[in-house]
Amino acid sequence: MQTEVLNQNQPGGARVRQRRGLVLIVDDDALNRTLLRDPLEVHDYEIVEAENGEQALEMVAQRPPDVILLDVMMPGMDGYEVCRRLKSDCRTATIPVLMVTALSERMERLMGIAAGASDFLTKPVDLQEVALRVGHAVVSKQMLDRLVAEQANAERLLLNTLPRLIAERMKKGETNIADQHPEVSVLVADLVGFTTLTAHIGPDQVVFLLNEIFSSFDVIAEKRGLEKIKTIGDAYMAAGGLPVARADHAEAIAEMALDLQEEIERFNLAYNTSIHLRIGISTGPVVAGVIGRRKFTYDLWGDTVNLACRLESLGEAGSIQVSEATYQRLKPKYRFENGRSLQIKGRGQENVYTLCARGSSG
């Protein structure tokens, strides 16, 4: 619904007229346009006019109306062709078209329906009927617009929660999504020092800073073509190689880890903080799937995930610890400190390496 301020200097404040909708009247006869325009303006519709089909299409492209009153018999492009063109364009296909015609034969009306007309008005038009039919058409269009907006918002929320491929599967009706991925790389990053910081600032600042950090992490994950899995408190998890497999998942995760360290340095300079990252990376098979009925979560399970978590928790602030499997894939392209053996709960002794920088160790 459109709003127009009539006079802001009226005593007691501005008077506001509510416009019920925008109507485009298309007719080559000026008198016919006037006959249609006058009763609609009385009912507070905003009216625009076109003298022929070409002009009508140009006006619709510039400013789509809520409904179109379209004369059938016009020189050049007739109303049927105008309607067909409107309905063939996804940007204008939902605009209701009311065809205004002096023809009452069944064939002409069938041609209008085939072209995509929503309704018909027969000349000479009944002015009360014009207002009623336009009113119904405008309400239907505005309800459809709201529905489309709500669907787009629901789509956006779903994609904020789930990977696009998984969201598409759910929209097609899959209810139990669980996939085995034979080889992915998992990154777990923890903010060292953030808990101490939260004890000295207010809750609104805590949420603001955490949102700043994790939003920048999201940007990095998207740039690297990786999937953010979740955040838990001040920890962040991402993965490469799912839901679509990719050969360079380990390299992409390593690049993200190095990017995250650089991002934390920028954050500390910007906010005068001293937060560090502790990162663990492992490579191997995982199970990935969607859990929940009302609030969906896309999550990972398996030893690969557990090992990434262990490597993160056993690392030093500022370090990136990777598993043996990850190291074997990365060592030709990245520099590492000498490996060492660590006792990992539930796994025994594991070889662990610290990723230092891009470039071969030589």
pLDDT, tens only, 127-158: 888 888 898 888 888 888 888 888 888 777 77
Whether 3 shows a pLDDT value over 50: the answer reads no
What is the rounded average pLDDT of the residues 2-24? 58
What architecture is domain 175-358? Answer: 2-Layer Sandwich (3.30)
328: burial class by Cβ within 10 Å (0-12, 13-18, 19+)?
middle
How do the residues of the chain divide into helix, strand and coil, expressed in percent and rounded to 5? 45, 30, 25
Q: Reading across the β-sheet that carries 67-71, which strands appear in turn?
A: 46-50, 22-26, 67-71, 97-101, 119-122
- For residue range 55-96, what is the model confidence (pLDDT) as tens digits? 999 999 999 999 999 998 898 899 999 999 999 998 899 999
Give me the CATH code for the 2-159 domain, please.
3.40.50.2300
Helix extents (H) in 227-332: 249-271, 303-314, 324-330
**pLDDT band at 47, cuts 50/70/90?**
very high
Whether 227 shows a pLDDT value over 70: the answer reads yes
Whether 103 shows a pLDDT value over 90: the answer reads no
* Percentage with pLDDT > 70 across the chain: 93
Nearest Cα to 95, choosing from 43, 55, 142?
Answer: 142
The least confident of 54-68, 112-126, 154-168, 248-262 is 154-168
| pLDDT (0 to 100) of residue 1 | 45
| pLDDT (0 to 100) of residue 17 | 55
Q: Give me 346's structure tokens.
A: 């539930």
| pLDDT (0 to 100) of residue 52 | 94
| pLDDT (0 to 100) of residue 159 | 73
| pLDDT (0 to 100) of residue 113 | 83
DSSP 80-111: HHHHHHHHHSTTTTTS-EEEEES---HHHHHH
What is the rounded average pLDDT of the residues 200-221? 93
Whether 216 shows a pLDDT value over 90: the answer reads yes
| pLDDT (0 to 100) of residue 301 | 95
Write the single-letter amino acid at 362: G
Q: From CA 311, how far away is CA 153, in angstroms rounded?
A: 38
Radius of gyration, alpha carbons of the chain: 31
| pLDDT (0 to 100) of residue 8 | 47
| pLDDT (0 to 100) of residue 205 | 92
Whether 272 shows a pLDDT value over 60: the answer reads yes
Nearest Cα to 261, choosing from 241, 281, 242, 245?
Answer: 281
| pLDDT (0 to 100) of residue 352 | 93
What is the rounded average pLDDT of the residues 223-237? 94
Q: From CA 337, how far away is CA 321, in angstroms rounded?
A: 10
Q: From CA 355, how far away is CA 250, in angstroms rounded?
A: 12
**pLDDT band at 318, cuts 50/70/90?**
very high
**pLDDT band at 169, cuts 50/70/90?**
confident
Whole-angstrom CA distances from 207 to 72, 194, 203, 234 are 60, 11, 6, 10
Whether 171 shows a pLDDT value over 50: the answer reads yes
Mean pLDDT of the chain: 87
**pLDDT band at 337, cuts 50/70/90?**
confident
Residues with Cβ < 8 Å from 137, sequence gap 6 or more?
A: 66, 67, 96, 98, 118, 119
**pLDDT band at 243, cuts 50/70/90?**
very high
Instruction: Identify any residues that bridge with 288 across adjacent strands, giving them in sequence order.
Output: 179, 300
Sketch the domain layout of the chain as residue ranges. 2-159, 175-358
**pLDDT band at 6, cuts 50/70/90?**
very low
Backbone angles phi, psi at 325, to 5 degrees: -60, -40
| pLDDT (0 to 100) of residue 325 | 95
